[in-house]
């Protein structure tokens, strides 16, 4: 299987500049700048590759870059989204720990393509080693003339600033990230205007996920067509999947898109741990609908197959649920999470996530009634789509799918009416 994002992970000290250069990192940046390959041709290559955003929404990267207006006279910004906080997902973190220079190379090629002179690297506040690695890498690259003034002797300059978050899931949402970068609370903003047109500091801004940008050097080396040949027609390329739960070998695995979820669990992950049976999988991070074993058997890890199964690839955090787990309890945990992380701007989200959490608390404690289950259903129907950002829907999807897929577990915990 072709490795693009994780190809250097087995190399000792792959995070150091000398080792990274021996691995070929920065050779594509150098070729782009020295040839030079015109920005519009870089955008064209990425468009041809079909690379889709790996942060969750799957938006085509080349197309996003082409939306950036080049004639406003304002600076253009690139924000790298390294806020990775979607429960079940731990891929960006390992990318940063193992190959921070590949990350910087991808970001600089993207910056060149969109006409950006300042890259903001927004990193999750809790991250320790990943932050030290990216700061050390940026420092090494700066001293070596790769970042900053006159990048690799090309005459083109680009600053790279690491901006540390401070604990808020919502700052992973791109406009929440921008609010936070601007020095405020991480409150999402209404779209349109989209960040590509009016983003950070009122200027055109591209927000891309870490993994998305790490695919760009390979695309410049091998061409967009070669990338498009990997994976499936509509979901080209590779994807790093995080697997958690009671499998024998949990961790991050890079697979070509279209790879079977069951194959990943059985082969790469070595199957379930002894004594544990598969009960369900949430394939795309905690925000997407849950799948039962018969769906897991046929689901392919690509955007289309996930949708055909009624779920999403999302951030590709595969949460493997074993037979000992109580689905009501797990949903209760998720409702607590989303209500805790709601930024509070939109009433349906602020009130709805809190209400869902309170109802589930009642049910978990054995104080719930059948009517509470109905309320959960109708309440989440009203929350969906009525908000500034997708956080509300990120609770709606698990609630509705857990209720649909495992109704018996909820019904077993509630009573007909309130006990006297």
Partner 1 sequence: MTVSSSTLKLAPEAEARIDDLQRRYPTKAATLLPVLWEIQTQVGWLPQEWMAYAAARCEVPVSKVLGVVSFYTMFHQEQPGRHHVQVCRNISCTMLGAEAILACVREKLGVTNGGRTADGKFSLEEVECLAGCSWGPVVQINRTYHENMTPEKTAQLLDSLE
Ligand X SMILES: Cc1cc2nc3c(=O)[nH]c(=O)nc-3n(C[C@H](O)[C@H](O)[C@H](O)COP(=O)(O)O)c2cc1C
CB of 124 to ligand X, least distance (A): 8
Task: Pick between residue 25 and residue 123 the one whose CB is nearest to partner 1.
Answer: 123
Residues 6 or more apart whose CB falls under 8 angstroms from that of 210 comprise 54, 80, 81, 82, 84, 92, 95, 96, 103
Asked if 199 is part of the footprint of partner 1 (rule: CB under 8 A), the reply reads no
SS (HEC) of 202-219:
HCCEEEEEHHHHHCHHHH
Considering the rule CB under 8 A, would residue 245 count as an interface residue with partner 1?
Answer: yes
Residue 171 or 261 having the CB closest to ligand SF4: 171
State the Cα–Cα distance between residues 20 and 15, nearest whole angstrom.
7
**Residue closer to ligand X, measured from CB, 312 or 402:** 312
Rounded Cα distance between 141 and 137, Å, is 6
To ligand X, the closest distance from the beta carbon of 203 in angstroms equals 17
Only segment of 23-31, 191-199, 387-395, 412-420 that touches ligand SF4 (CB under 6 A): 387-395
The tokens describing 351, both together, are 């009130």
Q: Quick one: DSSP state of residue 186?
A: -
Tokens of 25: 């990192």
- Compute the least distance from the CB of residue 69 to ligand X, in Å: 18
Q: What is the DSSP letter of 323?
A: T
**Phi, psi of 342, rounded to the nearest 5 degrees:** -60, 135
With left for phi above 0 and alpha for psi between -120 and 50, is residue 29 left, alpha or beta? alpha
- Relative to beta strand 118-123, strand 77-82 is parallel
* Shortest distance in whole angstroms from residue 137 CB to partner 1: 18
- For residue 277, state whether it binds partner 1 (rule: CB under 8 A): no
Radius of gyration of the chain (CA): 22
Applying CB under 8 A, does 271 fall inside the site for partner 1? Answer: no
The least distance separating partner 1 from the CB of residue 34, rounded to whole angstroms, comes to 26
Confirm or reject binding of residue 344 to ligand SF4 (CB under 6 A).
yes
Question: Count of alpha carbons within 13 Å of 182, Cβ hemisphere only?
Answer: 19
Q: Where does this chain bind partner 1 (CB under 8 A)?
A: 75, 84-90, 92-93, 118, 124-129, 159, 161, 163-169, 180-186, 201, 203, 242-246, 250-252, 282, 286, 317, 319, 321-322, 325, 329-330, 333-334, 336-337, 340-341, 343
Q: Where does this chain bind ligand X (CB under 6 A)?
A: 53-57, 59, 61, 81, 83-86, 170, 172-174, 207-209, 212, 389-391, 394
Q: Where does this chain bind ligand SF4 (CB under 6 A)?
A: 170, 188, 342-346, 349-350, 387-389, 391-392
């Amino acid at each position: 299987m072709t490795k693009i994002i994780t190809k250097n992970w087995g190399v000792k000290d792959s995070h150091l500049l000398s080792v990274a250069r021996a691995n070929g990192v920065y050779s594509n940046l150098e070729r782009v700048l020295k040839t030079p390959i015109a920005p519009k041709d870089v955008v064209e290559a990425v468009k041809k590759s079909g690379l889709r955003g790996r942060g969750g929404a799957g938006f085509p990267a080349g197309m996003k870059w082409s939306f950036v207006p080049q004639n406003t006279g304002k600076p253009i910004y690139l924000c790298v989204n390294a806020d990775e906080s979607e429960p079940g997902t731990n891929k960006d973190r390992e990318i940063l720990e193992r190959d921070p220079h590949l990350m910087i190379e991808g970001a600089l090629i993207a910056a060149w393509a969109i006409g950006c002179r300042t890259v903001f690297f927004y990193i999750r506040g809790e991250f320790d080693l990943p932050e030290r690695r990216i700061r050390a890498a940026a420092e090494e690259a700066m001293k070596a003339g790769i970042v900053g003034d006159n990048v690799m002797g090309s005459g083109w300059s680009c600053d790279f600033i690491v901006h540390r978050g401070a604990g808020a899931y919502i700052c992973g949402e791109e406009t929440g990230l921008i609010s936070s970068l601007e020095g405020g609370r991480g409150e999402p903003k209404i779209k349109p205007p989209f960040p590509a047109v009016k983003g950070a500091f009122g200027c055109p801004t591209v927000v891309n996920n870490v993994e998305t940008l790490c695919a760009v050097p390979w695309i410049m080396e091998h061409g967009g067509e070669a990338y498009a040949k990997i994976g499936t027609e509509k979901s080209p390329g590779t994807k790093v999947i995080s697997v958690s739960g009671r499998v024998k070998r949990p961790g991050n695995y890079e697979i070509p898109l279209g790879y079977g979820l069951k194959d990943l669990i059985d082969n790469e992950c070595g199957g379930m741990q002894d004594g544990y049976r598969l009960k369900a999988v949430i394939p795309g991070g905690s925000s997407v609908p849950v799948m039962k074993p018969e769906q897991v058997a046929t689901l392919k890890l690509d955007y289309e197959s996930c949708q055909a199964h009624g779920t999403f690839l999302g951030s590709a955090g595969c949460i493997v649920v074993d037979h000992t787990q109580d689905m009501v309890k797990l949903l209760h945990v998720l409702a607590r999470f989303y209500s805790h992380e709601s930024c509070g701007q939109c009433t349906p989200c602020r009130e709805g996530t809190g209400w869902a959490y309170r109802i589930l608390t009642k049910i978990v404690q054995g104080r719930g009634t059948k009517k509470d289950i109905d309320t959960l259903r109708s309440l989440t129907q009203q929350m969906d789509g009525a908000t500034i950002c997708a956080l509300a829907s990120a609770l709606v999807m698990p609630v509705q799918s857990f209720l649909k897929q495992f109704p018996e577990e909820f019904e077993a915990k509630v009573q007909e009416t309130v006990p006297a």
